[in-house]
């Protein structure tokens, strides 16, 4: 009999059998790890399987390669500030869905485990949008798809970066990129060398940028493509920004 104890962040819970669910967790040492939870949809256990919930875990199975079963206890639930804000909740569901869809089973990603915890904490702050974009950049890097945003791909002024190449993921200066700007992605102002505001428009630029690379690099060969929760979040954020600009 195999048995493990650890902490995990709930990524998803898929109904399975009568009243149970296969719950996927993000863990420090075992990466994305799934197990079966009996009575998952009971009133007592429903809150345990909400995405983003931090739980203590006891996993057991006959052999190490079996799905196994979970016993879960809540360590930290989600802040009402996140649950009551559709955009922040959308960001959380997006991050969890990316980890759930992209990470291979039982491959350690300690950086993503602690990074997702930090993102959840930051969702209650005023800079949560920029923090989410930064999290996705780190997510891409963890999977081997790092962006190069600190110098110009065309040899231009590194202090005047303005765009990102959709093919290479490398930054391009204003002068070098201006003739091709319709084919380039905007570099969010808060990622430029001299810094800039992390306002709604900059965050929308960031989501479009990272979303492009998620689709063309990470999920290019996935049958389902970029997770629906990520697509919904970007679309809702863009709609919110459009509404904000109309009210100005």
Phi, psi for 226 (deg, rounded to 5): -60, 135
Residue 64: what pLDDT? 83
For the chain, what is the mean pLDDT? 94
pLDDT surpassing 90 at residue 244: no
The model's confidence at residue 63, banded by pLDDT at 50, 70 and 90, is confident
The model's confidence at residue 245, banded by pLDDT at 50, 70 and 90, is low
CATH code matching the domain that covers 80-149+187-247, chosen among 3.90.320, 1.20.1440, 1.10.287, 2.40.128: 1.20.1440
Round to whole Å and give the CA distance between 234 and 238: 6
Residue 241: what pLDDT? 82
- When pLDDT is averaged across residues 224-235 and rounded to a whole number, the result is 97
85, HSE (Cβ side, Cα atoms, 13 Å): 17
Residue 18: what pLDDT? 85
pLDDT digits (tens, 9 = 90+) for 118-167: 999 999 999 999 999 999 999 999 999 999 999 999 999 999 999 999 99
Round to whole Å and give the CA distance between 45 and 205: 39
> If one looks up domain 2-76 in CATH, what number appears?
2.40.50.140
Round to whole Å and give the CA distance between 91 and 70: 27
Residue 17: what pLDDT? 83
pLDDT digits (tens, 9 = 90+) for 6-56: 999 999 999 998 889 999 999 999 999 999 999 998 888 888 999 999 999
Domain ranges of the chain: 2-76, 80-149+187-247
pLDDT surpassing 70 at residue 93: yes
Q: What is the DSSP string of 150-199?
A: SS-TTS--GGGEEEE-TTT-BEEEHHHHGGGGGGSEEPPGGGSTT-----
Q: Provide the token pair at 231.
A: 């697509």
pLDDT surpassing 90 at residue 248: no
pTM for the model stands at 0.94
Report whether 178 contacts 154 (CB < 8 A): no
Residue 243: what pLDDT? 67
Q: Provide the token pair at 88.
A: 């922040």
Q: Percent of the chain beyond pLDDT 90?
A: 87
What count of other Cβ atoms lies within 10 Å of the Cβ of residue 222? Answer: 12
Residue 54: what pLDDT? 97
pLDDT digits (tens, 9 = 90+) for 154-208: 999 999 999 999 999 999 999 999 999 999 999 999 999 988 899 999 999 999 9
């Amino acid at each position: 009999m195999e048995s493990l104890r650890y902490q995990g962040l709930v990524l998803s819970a898929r109904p399975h059998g009568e009243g149970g669910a296969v719950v996927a967790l993000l863990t420090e040492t075992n990466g994305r790890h799934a197990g079966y939870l009996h009575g998952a949809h009971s009133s007592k256990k429903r809150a345990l399987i909400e995405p983003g919930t931090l739980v203590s875990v006891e996993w057991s199975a006959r052999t190490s390669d079996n799905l196994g079963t979970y016993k879960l206890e809540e360590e930290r639930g989600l802040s009402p500030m996140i649950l009551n804000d559709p955009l922040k909740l959308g960001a959380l569901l997006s991050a969890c869905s990316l980890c759930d869809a992209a990470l291979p089973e039982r491959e350690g990603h300690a950086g993503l485990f602690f990074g997702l915890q930090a993102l959840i904490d930051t969702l209650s702050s005023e800079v949560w949008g920029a923090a989410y974009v930064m999290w996705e950049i780190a997510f891409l890097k963890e999977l081997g798809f790092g962006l190069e945003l600190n110098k110009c791909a065309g040899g231009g002024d590194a202090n005047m970066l303005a765009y990102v190449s959709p093919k290479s993921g490398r930054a391009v200066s204003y002068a070098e990129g201006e003739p091709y700007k319709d084919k380039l992605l905007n570099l969010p102002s808060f990622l430029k060398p001299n810094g800039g505001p992390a306002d709604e428009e900059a965050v929308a630029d960031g989501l479009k940028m990272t979303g492009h690379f998620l689709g063309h690099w990470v999920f290019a060969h996935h049958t389902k493509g970029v997770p629906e929760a990520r697509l919904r979040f970007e679309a809702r954020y863009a709609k919110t920004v459009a509404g904000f600009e109309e009210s100005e």
